[in-house]
Structure 1
Amino acid sequence: MGNPKQEQPEKFDFSRHEQVAVVEYMHVMGFYSELAASSKRIAEEALKRRYIKIHSIEARAKDPASFGRKAAKPSKNGPNQPMYPQPLEQISDQAAIRIITFFPRTIKEIDEMLREEFSVIEHFDKGESLIEEERFGYQSVHYLIKLGNVRTSLPEYQRFENAKIEVQVRTILQHTWAEIEHDIQYKSSITIPRDIKRRFMTLAGLLEIADREFQAIQDADRDLTSRVTDLISADKLQAVEITPNSIKSYLDKKLGSDGRMSDFSYDWTVRLLLRLGFTSLEQVDQCIDPYKDDQLSRIIYGNRQGQLLRFEFMLLASMGEAFISRHPWVGSSWFPLRYRDFLKKFSENSISIGHYDPSPPEDS
């Protein structure tokens, strides 16, 4: 007598599981949308308090269709069972925020902010997991967080107690890769054609190098700004190149700071100085040293004008006609007449008009 046939396990209905998951999620999607928005607002305020500059911060509740597809993924341990038998309880990225930075080092600053402002449940580097899974991708740091106890003790946050939020932190280059990856069909290094695989790997390396170089440039710029400030404080102006940062530091020390001046205004002033023939702050200092900015301003307007206009009057008094003839606006109908009238008023008030010329003499 033969053995009875072994009963086959009933095939799991993944399609129905997905449909049920979507219907159930739609009932709570509004809650997670509000949780994501609240988390974004808390993170934005925390970043501002710490003067951490980022590119952007996004918030979202998971898309219902995406939630359904994730709920219906087969389990790695048993392909006839779903990875998430209880989707609403087990899928942790129903509310999410994404913080995109300009530079890699900012990611560490954001890590410190998240640990101080939220309760961090999990933290992992997506780049490492992609390598282990032999998938293509680019690094980003992921967190699973909750609102802290202090915050959830407040009435407006009590309903979010124990609710989880996924946080992604990546640079703008990492984000670019991730967005493009959504349109790429090949997810595994096993299935990708060899030539495309080589190009993928080259591109990933280039992006990582670019991130490092951007960080190095920022570090170099900060070091240069710090060194320039020290040189200006020590009156070692011969080694200081004329840049918006250096001219601002110099004029703040020489004429007093003026918070009304914009970055664009200092950029314009640098372009003007270069057109006038200046190549270093030492020349600028030599040019304006004989003149008093406040005195010149009161002669023209009767009161103390802004920092950059006072500086311009000093250049005009020291260079005289050369300032007018080299100025970008010399071709206009009003500029030469108006500024020659300024020179006339200086002379009438016993201000000696100079002939300073920063341009090096031509070889004979």
Structure 2
Amino acid sequence: MSDVVLAGAVADPDEEQPESDDFDFDGHAALAKDEYEKVYPLYEEFSSVTESIISTCLSNSNISTHSITSRPKSIDGFQRKARKASSENPNSPRYGKPLQEITDLAGVRVITYFLNVVRDVETVIQEQFEVLERIDKSEAFEKDRRLGYQSLHFLVRLKENRCALPEYAKFSGLTAEIQVRTILQHAWAEIEHDIQYKAVYALPSQIRRRFMALAGALEIADREFQAIAKQDRRLREAALKSVADDELSGVEITPDALKAYLDKEFGPDGRMSDYSYSWTVGLLKGLGFIDLNELDEFLSGYNHGQVSRALHGSRQGQLTRLEDVLMVVAGEEYAIRHPWNRQDNEWFREMIDRRLAKAREKGYAVGAKKLPDRGRGTTGG
């Protein structure tokens, strides 16, 4: 977690400040370390509690994230930070009272997939915590002329009503730092330690331009991912509506659209997994089908339940019934184009031959229709 200091959090003005060159930074840091070791378990628990509150609220709001993690500041890290000299006076410590002034002793990091979710997470934080400070890192980097990439940092405390509950009372007054960023922003942050926050003006101009171009490219990529997600959601919703309205022409075969179509025509089957629908979409496209109208016309005239009972003696699952009808209607061509049709898969050809023979015995006209001419390459699962 980054070193963020509360605005106005300075050493007690009544406390005598060291003025000589002989200030004992090591001793100052060692004393601070001893104090922190005593409360370290409390901050460890506070970090976990803060993470739990955020996780629960995001889940209840159906806000999806990549990850939510927490940690207390390490004892060694605290000691190093307590030893830092003041930027204004190198002969005095940056933190006169480290345990009170170092504000990231408890930390939570929320990583999202998309930019818009960062704002959703911020809303939850504002609702659930007392926000002491909000820091937009992109603005801070621009002000300080440093290399960097966007993320939001919050300094928070538990609200009074929560602290009134016995299980939270011991955390009253404690401060936590919450970082919220996208997964691309996180990728940038992870390499910043190698960059070491070098000031822009200290870098060679060619390197500076490359860094700034990279930061811009990441921001563009973040926005493009969000736009793709929005378009994908819109297309999914439109496809589901078309299936519901029996307007199948032009509806691309996707896992969502296929499931909606089969639920309507074959009956729902909760046993089918997302992977199964994705695999079946690959199969259908390998057989040459592009949209649901083309598939629907190919299957017309065949009762999936009757075909299933004829081949297996009982009604099989939704996707098995689909494949059975495809096999009977397309006949040998189905076997030829199927991704499992390989030399080392003799069992597959034998299975298909047995089922086609049984279909003929039951009076079905095997291979009555030709598969679409396109897409003759096989697909994998």
TM-score of the superposed pair, with normalisation by structure 1: 0.90
Give the superposition deviation at 1:279.
Answer: 2.2
Partner of 1:5: none
Aligned residues: 354
Partner of 2:280: 269
Please list, as runs of the form range in 1=range in 2, the aligned pairs for 1:241-280 lying within 5 A after superposition.
Answer: 241-280=252-291
2:201 aligns to what SS in structure 1?
Answer: coil
Partner of 1:217: 228
Range that drifts further, 226-235 or 277-286: 226-235
Which of these residues, 335, 350, 369, is aligned with residue 337 of structure 1?
Answer: 350
Select the structure with the greater relative contact order (CA < 8 A; seq sep ≥ 6): 2
2:366 & 2:248 partners in 1: Cα distance?
A: 24
The 8 Å contact of residues 107 and 169 in structure 1, kept in 2 or not, is answered as yes
Query: Considering only aligned residues, what root-mean-square deviation do their CA atoms show, in Å?
Result: 2.2
Give the superposition deviation at 1:94.
Answer: 0.2
Partner of 2:239: 228
Q: 1:65 to 1:298 in 2, by over 3 A?
A: same
Partner of 2:110: 99
Partner of 2:134: 123
Q: 1:107 to 1:260 in 2, by over 3 A?
A: same
1:306 aligns with 2:294: no
1:271 & 1:184 partners in 2: Cα distance?
A: 44
1:166 aligns to what SS in structure 2?
Answer: strand
The 8 Å contact of residues 324 and 336 in structure 1, kept in 2 or not, is answered as yes
Letter of the 1:41 counterpart: S
Give the superposition deviation at 1:35.
Answer: 1.0
The 8 Å contact of residues 186 and 192 in structure 1, kept in 2 or not, is answered as no
**Structure 1 unmatched ranges of 5 or more:** 1-7
Give the superposition deviation at 1:298.
Answer: 2.5
Give the superposition deviation at 1:186.
Answer: 5.1
Range that drifts further, 52-61 or 13-22: 13-22
1:343 & 1:26 partners in 2: Cα distance?
A: 75
Give the superposition deviation at 1:47.
Answer: 2.3
Partner of 1:53: 64
1:17 aligns with 2:31: no
1:83 aligns with 2:129: no
1:181 aligns to what SS in structure 2?
Answer: helix
Which of these residues, 194, 197, 216, is aligned with residue 205 of structure 2?
Answer: 194
Give the superposition deviation at 1:9.
Answer: 4.0
2:161 & 2:353 partners in 1: Cα distance?
A: 67
TM-score of the superposed pair, with normalisation by structure 2: 0.86
Which of these residues, 308, 331, 355, is aligned with residue 368 of structure 2?
Answer: 355
Spell out, residue by residue over 1:68-108, the C-alpha distance to the aligned partner (whole angstroms, 9 max, x if none): 23333344554443332111112111000101111111101
Partner of 2:298: 287
Give the superposition deviation at 1:59.
Answer: 0.8
Partner of 1:170: 181
2:269 aligns to what SS in structure 1?
Answer: coil
1:323 aligns with 2:350: no
Give the superposition deviation at 1:263.
Answer: 2.2
2:185 aligns to what SS in structure 1?
Answer: helix
Give the superposition deviation at 1:311.
Answer: 0.9
